[in-house]
Chain A
């Protein structure tokens, strides 16, 4: 067996971690950001950070750790950055990043368009509760807030969604995702 450098061994070992978790991470980033480039950028940064901690033996369970890293990355980037990415895509027709296999479906999804209009906190809470199927307590832990805040964010978010779905034209006009 050939002798591998420490770096090569780390690449191989974390490559297996990446293979197991990358699809889920990218999909979570996608539903949180709603943009292709942002999702892949967020996932790449989250994996790079997790890799550092993983090499140091600080990551016991990669799945939850990676989920939190993705959410933190979306949060720290801020909505302004996401808006800039969307604007850049609009101007340059940039099609790099995550491949969406059914764009035609997305463009007509009223719920998706309405979700894109929610404030960041409400959107994150709803995604973690309904896409990741996390409990209120686990959602609170990922977001770093209280369970009361999660309840409030989800409740307000759903109420806002109802309003937007009752006025679909308005939702689609400003959805933009």
Chain B
């Protein structure tokens, strides 16, 4: 879709997040990624901005090529055409035909604008709570005094 001298056929909103941009999926065939509006996008034509971040960065320059009026006029009205290059079904479902005068192609934020650089293969934080196991307990008087029956939960403030 982003070949040299070619403009993307359609425009979508909301913009594709950077996370989905960096999904490592094979590049879609530029000619096969134009399904009809009411037809679900085939899986093989779904992947979008693909490849490594460096490749995506290289593509950013093509996302908004210089205005070429003659080429823009060759563009079909895009009434029944949606973009299928995001690979995100939710985004595909909300794809809209490009209004006149709007920039073509999915919105790609400039690199480093939203989030700082990340290491290779970052993972989101994970929270866990270990299951409590029953063991020795305080006696009732001590439990009432300490505020818990379970010694493993006794954490007084130090002040």
Instruction: Tell whether A pairs with B.
Output: no
A-contacting residues of B (Cβ < 8 Å)?
Answer: none
Residues in chain A within 8 A of chain B (CB atoms)? none
